């Protein structure tokens, strides 16, 4: 959707949206998976800044000043680098399978936050949410798959499982049988996450391309309308001359 007509500082907004999605996604997982636990104080402080910028642009519809843009940009660079670092764990051969799956889960959490913000944007400006909602449902499915596989990987390493965990593990084995090719499932999951990882990290380039595409479609429509008008004019002239 083209929101430049609603939000003047569109590129600044996209930076803030991406940063907010990453911060909120990390907060959802930082305690559970001990990812960057040493940064928890800074994370909460940074969240206060980015939430303020987001509120000012989207809710109050005000312009943010240059010094605030500088802060937002520095936070964007900091947290996209952090997200890239987490994503890199999924390719690290020294990491266990459950650690790689946890990296995917954290990325998916950031993706889900990004999609929730996008739906909020669509609802505010009354635009179609069907595509974003479909992606959000996929993200929920991805979270379910990853949580299931993480539990399986972790519990298989443990000794002296409780009867409850043994039963859950048996149920998971049955679920995995129904899923079929787990490697294919993870490959599809990775493709989904990579697509939205690009949306989050390369948000300015993607928004710029959206603006270019929107302008091209608008110009094409104008040309079609002009051609229709010219054809009608020529038709009217022809009728007049024949009379």
Q: What are phi and psi of 126, to 5 degrees?
A: 55, 50
Is 225 within the bounds of a domain?
Answer: no
Is 230 within the bounds of a domain?
Answer: no
pLDDT at site 233:
58
Is 182 within the bounds of a domain?
Answer: yes
Query: What mean pLDDT is predicted for residues 23-45?
Result: 75
pLDDT at site 238:
55
Condensed to tens digits (0 to 9), the pLDDT of residues 86-144 reads 888 777 777 888 888 999 999 999 999 999 999 998 898 888 899 999 999 999 999 99
For residue 162, what pLDDT band results from cuts at 50, 70 and 90? confident
Is 108 within the bounds of a domain?
Answer: yes
Is 3 within the bounds of a domain?
Answer: no
Residues with Cβ < 8 Å from 1, sequence gap 6 or more? 121, 122, 125, 127, 128
Is 2 within the bounds of a domain?
Answer: no
Q: What are phi and psi of 223, to 5 degrees?
A: -65, -40
For residue 75, give its domain range. 10-201
Indicate the number of domains in the chain. 1
pLDDT at site 170:
86
Give the span between the Cα atoms of 110 and 196, in whole angstroms: 9
Handedness of CA 31, 32, 38, 44 (dihedral sign): negative
Query: What mean pLDDT is predicted for residues 185-205?
Result: 85
- The proportion of the chain whose per-residue pLDDT surpasses 70, expressed as a percent, equals 81
C-alpha distance across the termini of the chain, in Å: 49
Would you say residue 38 has pLDDT above 60?
no
Give the span between the Cα atoms of 12 and 33, in whole angstroms: 31
Is 118 within the bounds of a domain?
Answer: yes
């Amino acid at each position: 959707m083209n929101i430049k007509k609603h939000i003047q500082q569109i590129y600044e907004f996209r930076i803030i949206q991406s940063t907010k999605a990453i911060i909120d996604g990390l907060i959802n997982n930082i305690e559970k998976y001990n990812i960057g636990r040493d940064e928890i104080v800074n994370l909460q402080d940074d969240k206060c800044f980015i939430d303020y910028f987001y509120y000012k642009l989207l809710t109050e519809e005000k312009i943010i000043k240059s010094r605030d843009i500088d802060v937002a940009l520095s936070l964007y660079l900091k947290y996209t680098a952090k997200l890239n670092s987490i994503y890199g764990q999924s390719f690290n051969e020294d990491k266990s399978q459950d650690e790689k799956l946890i990296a995917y889960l954290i990325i998916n959490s950031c993706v889900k936050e990004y999609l929730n913000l996008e739906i909020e944007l669509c609802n505010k400006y009354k635009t179609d949410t069907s595509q974003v909602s479909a992606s959000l449902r996929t993200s929920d499915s991805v979270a379910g798959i990853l949580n299931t596989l993480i539990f399986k990987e972790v519990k298989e390493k443990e000794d002296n499982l409780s009867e409850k965990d043994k039963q859950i593990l048996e149920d998971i084995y049955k679920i995995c049988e129904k899923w079929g090719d787990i490697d294919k499932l993870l490959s599809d999951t990775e493709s989904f996450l990579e697509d939205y990882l690009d949306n989050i990290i390369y948000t300015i380039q993607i928004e710029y391309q959206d603006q270019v595409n929107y302008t091209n479609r608008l110009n094409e429509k104008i040309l079609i309308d002009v051609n229709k008008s010219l054809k009608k004019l020529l038709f009217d002239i022809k009728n007049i001359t024949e009379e």
